[in-house]
Structure formats: structure tokens, C-alpha cells
Amino acid sequence: MNRSKQAGMGKRIIVVLLVSLALTSVRLAEAQPAKEVPRIGYLDPASPEASLRQIEAFRKGLAELGYVDGKNIVIEYRHADGKRNRLVTAATELVQRHVDVIVTGSTPGVEAAKNATNTIPIIFATIGDPVRSGLVESLARPGGNITGLTIFSPEMGGKRLELLKEAFPKIRRVAFFWSTMNPGFSFAEAEAAGKPLGVEVQSVQLRDVEDIESAFKKVRKKGSQAFTTAPDPVMRLRQRKLLDFAEKNRLPAMYGQLDFVDAGGLMSYAPNTIDLYRRAATYVDKILKGSKPADLPIEQPKKFEFIINLNSAKQIGVTIPPNVLARADRVIK
């Protein structure tokens, strides 16, 4: 066989080998399962309506990091409407759906998720004291499968009472609405904060969202001159009722969530929880990229906002002193 024929045969053999390799690669690629889109479980102790702004903030945070629901991620939503049994069921459903991470916004939500799984990462956006609640080992190194952002600050409850007392120096009895679903904000701390201010803090404990009417009767019976609320999903579910109660009874109120004032409440001193939900997306991003919850430090609130609604003050017939107005970060007129 001459050299030209040998060269031609060699080229044909190379072509056949390359085609064969290409076909084999295609078959192998077809045999490989398509990469699954990450699934995020959103576990909400409240209702879709009550959590609309929080959900929007979380989705915005994800979008800023390049995640779009329905394209490169899927978000599974579960809402408990303030019912503990529904929260437990919802957490179990998300685990059964094999989500890659669970995002929730309260101590009850974290507890429900923790009881449902010890392997799927759990990210909280706004809870009380996660260490005292026994959910994590420490803020710096959470351990286990739980981490996120806390709204807890030891001086927060006392600061609300201080501002309320400064605005209305004559008040002596203040009702404190709090929920057994969120032990991170207990009555004992509120009571202790009131003593140096000469304020008797009266416990108004809600075990369920349905307790609200009986709670109002208790406030009237005790002769409370004002009230404050813990930053709790149960309060958010009964926002309208709390605002109407304050207006009807002409009671000054200091709320534990900023959106209460935007909705017509008198005053609020609290961290910006909407921003915290947006920031929770960064934890999701790190988890999806391989980080472990145990190694991600828990972030505390960095900035608190004091908001006053002068329209509400007019409706209940009170005047906010100039020195208190000067301390507000925002005044609604």
C-alpha cells in the first residue's frame, strides 16, 4: 500500500473515531439527569395577606442575587394563618417535598421546621433570642442546620416603654400584648423594664389569634392607659383589630412592628424587618453554593427606627411633645 493510500485510510479512521466519540458523548449526556432547579420552602406562621411585604422583600433579595422564581429556583409557600397545628403540618409538607432550604420568620416557624428535619438547612429572617430559645448554640457559630437574622435586642422592650412614657408622662399602667408562640419576647422582660419608669406593665397573653377579643376585655378591665405589642406574627395577623381597638378606646400604643404605623398606628420602635427579609436571601444564596448553616454567623439588627403617625394622634385626641417628635426617624403627617 502506497503512502497516499495509507494517509487517506488514516484520516478516515480518525474521522470515524471522532464521530464515534461525539455520538458516545451525546448518549452519555442524554443519560445524565438534568440538573434539578433548587427548591426553597417558605414557611410562614401568618397568612399570605399579612406577609405580603415580607414575601416581596425576600423575592427582591433573591432577584438581586440572580434568582428568579420559576426560572432558576422554585419557591414552595406554606402559610399557617396563626395556627400552630397548621405550622407543624406545613413544615412536614416542605420536608416531604425535598426542598433544599427552608426560610421562616419566627421562633414557632423555626421550631416546627427543626422538629421536621435535622438535615435540611433552616434560615430564619426575624425571630427573638435564638440562643435562649435553644435553637442554636451561639450567634457566632450556630451549629446544626439553623442560622439567619434575629430581631432580638435586650434593650428593645425597655426602649419602647421609655419612648411611650416620654410621650405620655402621666401613664402608669401599660398593657403588653405578647404570644406564647414566640417566647423570645416574654412578659418578664417587659415587666422589668417598666419598674424604673414607674410603669406597671400588665400581661396580655395570646395563645392563639382567636384570643384577641378576650384580650381586649382584659385590657379594659385592668384600666390600662396605653399598650405595647411584641414583634410577633400573631400580632401581624390581628393588625387591623389592634389598630381599631386603640382608636375606639383612644389608647396611645407603641407597636413592635414598623408597618403598624404605616397602617394607621400611633408609634413604633423596631428594626426594619422588611430589610431583614431581603437580607435573608443572602443566606439562601450561600447555602445553595455549598455553605453550611453551622458556619454562618447569626446577624443582629443594626438599625432601629422610631416612627410617629400624627394622623393617628389626632384621631385619638393626643399631642406628641416636640422633644419626642425630634427623636423620630420618620413622622407621618
Interval 42-90: pLDDT, tens:
999 888 988 899 999 999 999 999 999 999 999 999 999 888 899 999 9
Residues 94 and 222 in one domain: no
Tell me, yes or no, whether 174 and 124 share the same domain: no
- DSSP track, 195-239: GGGT-EEEEEEESSGGGHHHHHHHHHHHT-SEEEE-S-HHHHHTH
- Is 255 inside a domain boundary? yes
Q: What is the DSSP string of 35-46?
A: PPPPEEEEEESS
Q: In terms of pLDDT, which residue wins out, 111 or 179?
A: 111
Q: Is the pLDDT of residue 190 over 70?
A: yes
Rounded distance between C-alpha atoms, residue 149 and residue 126, angstroms? 6
pTM: 0.76
Q: Is the same domain home to 191 and 322?
A: yes
Same domain for 178 and 323?
yes
Which grid coordinates are listed for 313? Answer: 394622634
Any domain includes 196? yes
Which pLDDT band holds residue 209 (cuts at 50, 70, 90)? low
Residue 67 · residue 285 · CB < 8 Å: yes
Q: For 184, which DSSP code?
A: T
* Beta bridge pairs of residue 103: 42, 123
Q: Which amino acid appears at position 152 of this protein? A: F
Q: Is residue 2 part of a domain?
A: no
Any domain includes 229 = yes
Residue 57: inside a domain, yes or no? yes
Evaluate whether 123 touches 140 at the Cβ level (below 8 Å).
no
Q: Which residue has the cell 384577641?
A: 212
What CA–CA distance (Å, rounded) separates 216 from 242? 9
Per the structure, the count of domains in the chain is 2
CATH code of the domain in which 132 resides:
3.40.50.2300
